[in-house]
Chains A and B, each alone.
Chain A
Amino acid sequence: DAMVIQNPRYQVTQFGKPVTLSCSQTLNHNVMYWYQQKSSQAPKLLFHYYDKDFNNEADTPDNFQSRRPNTSFCFLDIRSPGLGDAAMYLCATSRDWASGTHEQYFGPGTRLTVT
């Protein structure tokens, strides 16, 4: 089945220690998104890629970076995690906006704990 895969599902890192979260998709979608979701809150968009074109949300901290080496993979790098970065990180994909379909397909998420 075509899907969005996130690894690992649970990640523990130390305060200030860089961490990378991975997302892959078999849907061949042009657009990939990273969201941060804190407990009992709505997902908050961090950035998205339209093909290789990177788009950062205005309020996304510089501590968060992303890479998309090819269509299938996208990475979220947190350079110096703080306690406030503990959250669920969701990856999502969607088709080209010109296709007329607009829903986003989400992966299962990676829950990040910062100790």
Chain B
Amino acid sequence: AQSVTQLGSHVSVSEGALVLLRCNYSSSVPPYLFWYVQYPNQGLQLLLKYTTGATLVKGINGFEAEFKKSETSFHLTKPSAHMSDAAEYFCAVSENTGFQKLVFGTGTRLLVSP
């Protein structure tokens, strides 16, 4: 069965600092990996995804993530945090066979201070 672990339920950074949100996954087959962002009282918005090909993927709002198969990781980074990045971030995995159910991690709340 698939699973996702997000280390750190809360991450605090200063505006302009590097953002690093950690995600490790478990999957018996090559996974598809996603990062979603959720602002208060809103739905989830896709930041970026990895399916096949290049392991470094770029997303919206300056975020990127690198798929590392050997480490079973898909960490999300942004070089310089902005106040508007404060939100909840969910990593998710789906298997690329049959019904592609998304399995979400428990989420990481990013706090950005001035």
**Residues of chain A whose beta carbon lies under 8 Å from any beta carbon of chain B:** 4, 6, 9, 40-43, 45, 48, 50, 55, 88, 90, 92, 94, 97, 100, 102-109, 111
Contact = CB atoms under 8 A, between A and B. Distances in A.
Interface of B is mostly: loop
B55 to A, nearest CB: 17
Contacts of B51: 100, 102
A102 B105 contact: no
Interface range, B side: 20 to 34
5 contacts: A9-B41, A90-B43, A100-B51, A102-B49, A105-B46
B43 A97 contact: no
Contact of B46 (A9, A48, A100, A103): A103
B99 A107 contact: no
Contact of A106 (B45, B96, B100): B45
Contact of A104 (B41, B96, B102, B106): B102
Contacts, number: 55
A111 B41 contact: yes
Interface of B: 32, 34, 36, 41-46, 49, 51, 90, 94, 96, 98-102, 104-107
B8 to A, nearest CB: 14
A108 B43 contact: yes
A109 B42 contact: yes
B99 A97 contact: yes
A43 B32 contact: no
A6 B106 CA distance: 24
